[in-house]
């Protein structure tokens, strides 16, 4: 018996050091489209390799609600979350809650990523997150319907409205009364800020607050852009859009009931997935210009991975970040989910270009995507909320853009210092 016990103790001693090292890492993965599934697969692959375990924290689909959830946990110093996904617009808001990742990521690794994003993730010299994927707003359209009705892909919003109307009217006559013209993210949340920034920028109306910190939203081009889009609601744009997030728009488009859709790149992989009713019938292009002298633009989106400063095992958490944001995993996510890599060399990868031809043809759209006005730092969220509420009111027929944007202008000036940022 003594011998057996001694043997057991010895065996335990052999096992224990390893067990003590195995940590559980909690990661918030995201939940739009395939986000959760792909991130879980990646995290589990890392767990298998490293001997650690992972737990996935569920988050709301609405980016603003996600921010609120993280802020609540982190403000309370919670150790329940180790790896946090960080929206491209958040570094100025959440920087204090994250460790500096520089010691874990040598210069040559960081150099592989899009440099503007690395810069965006560096707050007061601290690298708070590693780029994971980038996005830009894109226009999806049903190439089969455009061809059937002899229409060309639109280069301006005015053409888009016209083309949508022509197709919807003709289809209606033929008995297809479910089809609508154009869907986008019209709920009053961060997604609408992105859509409306694109409209304003495409009409030449600037970026709400300019890079020097001047509030610019109250200008004739911005007014024209928002009034124009509002004029489409109830016509080529169904009123239901005013409650759509990304997935609401994708649902309408993917079921075959919309001619045009504004969305992020992830919708490509799903639109062309095995059981998609519109598989092979979809094309992607840059968003239209606001008139002949406008510009083609797309809002810059995307997510980073950071390690909470309250994590009980930051080294292990940083290792998970290294794996998820590394080339192999970025390539897998791009192949399966059309998540745009932040590692530049992957844009030359033949396999990726074949799966997502628009990675190549719209490369400029991604590299020149228009950023939201994060010069407003920790107050970005308030700035965005003021702006999109005014847009939402205008889209819902509550006031004209001239009045609504004038109020935003005054509000943003009062939030900044001496009318400036």
The residues that touch ligand GLC, with contacts defined as CB under 6 A, are: 63, 87-89, 135, 190-191, 194, 264, 301-303
Q: How far is CA 121 from the centre of its chain?
A: 15
* Full strand arrangement of the beta sheet holding 300-307: 53-57, 24-28, 83-87, 300-307, 130-136
Q: In the bound complex, what is the minimum distance in angstroms from residue 35's beta carbon to ligand GLC?
A: 8
70 HSE (CA, 13 A, CB side) = 32
Residue nearer to ligand GLC on the CB measure, 131 or 314: 131
Q: In the bound complex, what is the minimum distance in angstroms from residue 254's beta carbon to ligand GLC?
A: 17
Can you tell me the distance from the alpha carbon of 301 to that of 82, in angstroms, rounded to the nearest whole number?
A: 23
| Residue 322 phi, psi (nearest 5) | -60, -40
CA 338-343-348 angle, 5° bins: 75
Q: How far apart are the first and last CA of the chain?
A: 77
Residue nearer to ligand GLC on the CB measure, 35 or 319: 35
Can you tell me the distance from the alpha carbon of 215 to that of 300, in angstroms, rounded to the nearest whole number?
A: 19
Q: In the bound complex, what is the minimum distance in angstroms from residue 145's beta carbon to ligand GLC?
A: 26
Q: In the bound complex, what is the minimum distance in angstroms from residue 67's beta carbon to ligand GLC?
A: 9
Q: In the bound complex, what is the minimum distance in angstroms from residue 107's beta carbon to ligand GLC?
A: 26
Residue nearer to ligand GLC on the CB measure, 116 or 419: 116
Residue 215 in contact with residue 207, Cβ under 8 Å?
no
Residue nearer to ligand GLC on the CB measure, 161 or 196: 196
Tokens of 109: 């690794």
Q: In the bound complex, what is the minimum distance in angstroms from residue 234's beta carbon to ligand GLC?
A: 23
* H or E element at residue 53: strand 53-57
Tokens of 240: 């239901």
Tokens of 169: 């009217």
Closest residue to ligand GLC: CB criterion: 301
């Amino acid at each position: 018996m003594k011998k057996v016990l001694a043997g057991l103790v010895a065996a335990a001693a052999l096992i224990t050091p390893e067990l003590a090292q195995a940590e559980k890492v909690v990661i918030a993965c995201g939940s739009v489209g395939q986000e959760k599934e792909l991130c879980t697969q990646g995290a589990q692959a890392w767990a298998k390799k490293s001997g650690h375990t992972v737990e996935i924290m569920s988050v709301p689909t609405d980016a603003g609600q996600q921010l609120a959830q993280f802020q609540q946990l982190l403000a309370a110093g919670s150790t329940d979350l180790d790896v946090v996904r960080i929206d491209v617009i958040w570094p100025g808001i959440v920087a204090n809650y994250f460790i500096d990742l520089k010691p874990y990521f040598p210069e040559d690794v960081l150099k592989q990523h899009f440099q503007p994003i690395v810069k965006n993730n560096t707050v007061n010299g601290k690298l708070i997150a590693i780029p994971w994927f980038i996005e830009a707003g894109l226009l999806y359209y049903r190439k089969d319907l455009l061809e059937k009705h002899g229409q060309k892909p639109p280069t301006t919003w005015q053409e888009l409205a016209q083309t949508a109307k022509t197709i919807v009217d003709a289809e209606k006559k033929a008995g297809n009364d479910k089809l609508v013209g154009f869907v986008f993210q019209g709920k009053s949340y961060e997604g609408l800020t992105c859509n409306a920034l694109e409209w304003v920028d495409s009409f030449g109306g600037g970026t709400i607050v300019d890079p020097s910190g001047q509030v610019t939203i109250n200008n004739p081009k911005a007014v024209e852009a928002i009034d124009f889009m509002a004029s489409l609601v109830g016509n080529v744009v169904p009123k239901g859009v005013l409650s759509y997030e990304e997935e609401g728009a994708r649902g309408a488009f993917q079921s075959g009931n919309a001619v045009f859709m504004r969305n992020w790149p992830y919708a490509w992989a799903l639109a062309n997935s095995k059981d998609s009713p519109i598989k092979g019938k979809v094309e992607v292009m840059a968003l239209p210009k606001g008139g002949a002298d406008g510009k083609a633009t797309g809002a810059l989106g995307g997510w980073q991975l950071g390690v909470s400063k309250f994590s009980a095992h930051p080294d292990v958490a940083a290792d998970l970040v290294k794996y998820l944001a590394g080339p192999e995993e970025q390539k897998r996510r791009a192949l399966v989910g059309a998540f745009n890599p932040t590692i530049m060399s992957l844009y030359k990868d033949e396999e990726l270009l074949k799966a997502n031809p628009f990675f190549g043809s719209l490369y400029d759209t991604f590299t020149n995507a228009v950023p939201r006005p994060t010069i407003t730092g920790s107050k970005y969220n308030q700035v965005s909320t003021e702006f999109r509420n005014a847009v939402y009111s205008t889209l819902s027929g509550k006031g004209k853009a001239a009045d609504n944007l004038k109020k935003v202008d005054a509000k943003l000036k009062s939030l900044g210092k001496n009318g400036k940022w």
